[in-house]
Amino acid sequence: MNPEFWQQRWQDKRIGFNQPEVNPLLIKHFPALNLPTDSRVFVPLCGKSVDMIWLASQGYEVAGVELVESAVQAFFTENNISPTVTRHADNPNIKCYQGQILGQTIELWVADIFALKPEDLGQVDAIYDRAALIALPADMRLKYSEKVRQLSSNISSRASGNAPQLLLTLNYDQSERNGPPFSISSEQVQQYYSSHYRITELEGKPSILNAAPELAVTEHVWLLSD
């Protein structure tokens, strides 16, 4: 899956993965991360998700990364935030949009996540992955999971250096439909994360895939912790 795929999806407005309301599973399970207010939450492949506004409303700073610049621009425009925009000192293809809402800083990087370094992102206290892992084909997921762990290693509050994650996945018969979003089994979650995290399933429930409402789908919430 190449960058042009996602650029085209946003250009064609085929963004069913972008939900107009805050994800209720985020509201229900975010307390499991046990974060103090003013912590900084990293949202990989963030798009223009309104979940980031909810995080700010709860007293958290937000850092996100998104490949498609128009998605980042739409986020700030639709939420009436006037961002400052800076280019990366060493990579002119990377930009950082930063703004304030509800007294919290929201910093969104326009970049290929694999091009970012921990020192770019700065402190990360937790990760919220609603639509990143499930957006990636199988051959990219292990590399992605390790990259996110590396990006969240620039923290001072945890001896292990691994920021906890709230991870949302979908599970369905992949032979009936190709992704994205892709089906992720519990065995695959173990494969991608068990080397560095303790994995706890917080919830599994029936769900609906808008692009294929006839599919039997379950949605799962995972806590990845030390």
Q: Is the pLDDT of residue 160 over 90?
A: no
Length in residues, the chain: 226
On whether residue 80 sits in a domain, the answer given is yes
On whether residue 16 sits in a domain, the answer given is no
Q: Is the pLDDT of residue 147 over 70?
A: yes
Which residue, 69, 34, 30, is CA-closest to 48? 69
On whether residue 156 sits in a domain, the answer given is yes
- Amino acid type, 215: L
Q: Which domain holds residue 106?
A: 3-11+23-30+37-225
On whether residue 18 sits in a domain, the answer given is no
On whether residue 17 sits in a domain, the answer given is no
Alpha carbon distance 133, 149 (integer Å): 13
Pairing of strands 84-87, 95-101: antiparallel
- Amino acid type, 22: V
Q: What is the dihedral of CA 16, 22, 28, 32, to 10 degrees?
A: 90
pLDDT digits (tens, 9 = 90+) for 166-191: 999 999 999 998 888 999 999 999 99
Q: What is the CATH number of the domain that holds 168?
A: 3.40.50.150
Which residue, 22, 116, 16, is CA-closest to 65? 116
Per-residue tokens: 193: 């994360």
pLDDT digits (tens, 9 = 90+) for 87-144: 998 998 899 999 999 999 999 999 999 999 999 999 999 999 999 999 999 999 999 9
On whether residue 76 sits in a domain, the answer given is yes
Assessment of whether the complete model's pTM goes beyond 0.75:
yes
DSSP tally for the chain: helices H, then strands E: 7, 9
On whether residue 153 sits in a domain, the answer given is yes
Cα torsion angle, 74, 75, 78, 83, sign: negative
Region 71-82: mean pLDDT is 95
On whether residue 82 sits in a domain, the answer given is yes
Region 199-218: mean pLDDT is 91
Long-range contacts of 158-162 (CB under 8 A, 24+ apart): 158/226, 160/226, 162/196, 162/197, 162/226
Number of structural domains found in the chain = 1
